[in-house]
Structure 1
Amino acid sequence: MSFTLATWNINSVRLREGLVTRLLAEEMPDILCLQECKSPVEMIPLAQFQALGYRYIVARGQKGYNGVAILSKLPIVDAGDKDFAQLGHARHVAARLENGVTIHNTYVPAGGDIPDREVNVKFGQKLDYLTEMRDFFRWERPDRAILVGDLNIAPREDDVWNHKALLKIVSHTPIEVDHFNAVMEAGNWQDVTRHDLREGRLYSWWSYRAADWDTADKGRRLDHIWATPDILNASHQSRILRPVRGWDGPSDHVPVFATFDL
């Protein structure tokens, strides 16, 4: 089986239904994992997606916040979810393909603006979420698995526009990167995007605050695709669709793609 998978923080699936439909029609991934859907599952606008062949959905949602969904042309079954850090948020869902591969779709908390859990509850929640992810994958060691999503951390120096300038900015602080790496190590996860695109700056997010995001190019790679070692070498053709950030009414994130031959 060969399939192409994409992950995208859509920042409201109902508001940006047309962008999702455009991506599905133009790029035709077999599986699309969405984060920050901001919709109860029953209100996700599925008709247009189903008309394009995406007949299968596994999702968790809530009104106005968070929310994760896996849309697929290929048959998938619900493989559960985890409420890491007991936040009561719809931030994780898993689905299983017929070949036994499990896909985890995750939306890690952004963590607020101040990288100090003593004065910023949201930052503490982010660290706790990552700690429980680490413990889960350490206890239930994954195999034949893929993890994707907006993990809200840019781990490498070349995953941000300016490493030194962002060391004290949430998403690139050393403590966040340490937690990120601990999750990877616990599940023996491998970075698919960097396995293919080893060197050079890569971004998947540009702030809405920039008047000209493209020229300023102050990006961060917050969106990731991981795989377990037993299927890592089956992955190829990683790419980040930067032009999508320039579509009308865009999300501040763009889709990240990879293809797997399994």
Structure 2
Amino acid sequence: MTFTLATWNINSVRLRAALVEKLLREEAPDVLCLQECKSPVEKMPSDVFAALGYGHVVARGQKGYNGVAIFSRLPLEEVGAHDFADLGHARHVAARLPNGVTIHNFYVPAGGDIPDREQNVKFGQKLDYVAQMRDWARAERPERAILVGDLNIAPREDDVWNHKQLLKIVSHTPVETALLAEAQEAGGWVDVTRQDIPEGPLFSWWSYRSPDWDAADKGRRLDHVWATRDIAAAGHGSRVLRAARGWEQPSDHAPVFARFDL
């Protein structure tokens, strides 16, 4: 079974439903994982996507905030969701494909602006969330699984536009990258994107604050596709659809793709 998977922080699935339609029509991934949907499940434009062939949906929604959804041309079996750090947020959902592969769709908290949990509650929540992702992976040791989503951490030096300048900026601080590495190791996760594109700058997010995001190119790789070691070698064809960041009224994230032969 061969399938293409895409992950995208859409920053409001209702506001940007037309962009999702554009992606589905032009790129036609078999599975699309969305984060920051900002909508209750019943108000997501699922019928619009179903008309394009994406009639299988597993989602967790929340009014105005968070929210994750998996839209698929392939049948999905829902296998649950975790509320890591007990935040009461819709930040994770999981579904199983007909070939037995489980897809985990994550939206890790952004963490606010100050990288100090004593001064910034949101940063502490982020660290707790990733720590519990690590502990979950250690306890359950996933197999035949893919983990995708906006993890809100750019782990490598070449995952940000300037490593030294961003060491004290939330998303690239040493405490975050170390914790993410622990979570990755705990689950035996392989970074499929970097398996395919091992060297060089690679970004999936560019701030709205930049007047010319493309020319400035001050990006970060916050969106990830991981796979457990038993299936990671089946992943290939990774790419970031950078052009989507330049679409009309875009998300500040671009979709990340990978293809799996399983």
Q: TM-score range by the shorter chain?
A: over 0.9
Deviations 1:196-251 (A, max 9, x none): 00001000000000000001100000000000011111111000000000000000
What residue number does 1:148 align with? Answer: 148
> How big is the shift at 1:49?
0.5
Task: State the distance in 2 between where 1:51 and 1:200 align.
Answer: 39
Describe the SS at the equivalent of 2:231: helix
Task: State the distance in 2 between where 1:172 and 1:15 align.
Answer: 29
Deviations 1:11-44 (A, max 9, x none): 0000000000000000000000000000000000
What residue number does 1:92 align with? Answer: 92
What residue number does 1:180 align with? Answer: 180
Matched, 1:245 2:257: no
Describe the SS at the equivalent of 2:33: strand
Q: RMSD value over aligned CA atoms?
A: 0.4
Task: State the distance in 2 between where 1:33 and 1:79 align.
Answer: 15
Describe the SS at the equivalent of 2:80: coil
Q: Which runs of 5+ in 2 are unaligned?
A: none
What residue number does 2:12 align with? Answer: 12
Alignment of 1:153-164 (within 5 A): 153-164=153-164
Matched, 1:63 2:63: yes
Task: State the distance in 2 between where 1:140 and 1:111 align.
Answer: 26
Deviations 1:105-133 (A, max 9, x none): 00000000000000000000000000110
> How big is the shift at 1:48?
1.6
Instruction: Please list every run of at least 4 consecutive aligned residues from structure 1 whose deviation after the TM superposition is greater than 3 angstroms.
Output: none
Matched, 1:208 2:208: yes
Matched, 1:45 2:45: yes
Task: State the distance in 2 between where 1:253 and 1:243 align.
Answer: 10
Describe the SS at the equivalent of 2:230: helix
> How big is the shift at 1:94?
0.1
- Matched to 2:205, the amino acid is W
Alignment of 1:86-165 (within 5 A): 86-165=86-165
Task: State the distance in 1 between where 2:72 and 2:221 align.
Answer: 24
Deviations 1:162-194 (A, max 9, x none): 000000000000000011001001101000000
Identity %: 74
> How big is the shift at 1:66?
0.1
Describe the SS at the equivalent of 1:128: helix
What residue number does 1:259 align with? Answer: 259
Q: State TM-score, norm by structure 1.
A: 1.00
> How big is the shift at 1:82?
0.2
What residue number does 1:233 align with? Answer: 233
What residue number does 1:72 align with? Answer: 72
- Matched to 1:211, the amino acid is P
- Matched to 1:118, the amino acid is E
- Matched to 2:191, the amino acid is D
> How big is the shift at 1:47?
1.7
Task: State the distance in 1 between where 2:15 and 2:180 align.
Answer: 30
Task: State the distance in 2 between where 1:197 and 1:33 align.
Answer: 21
> How big is the shift at 1:98?
1.0
> How big is the shift at 1:46?
1.2
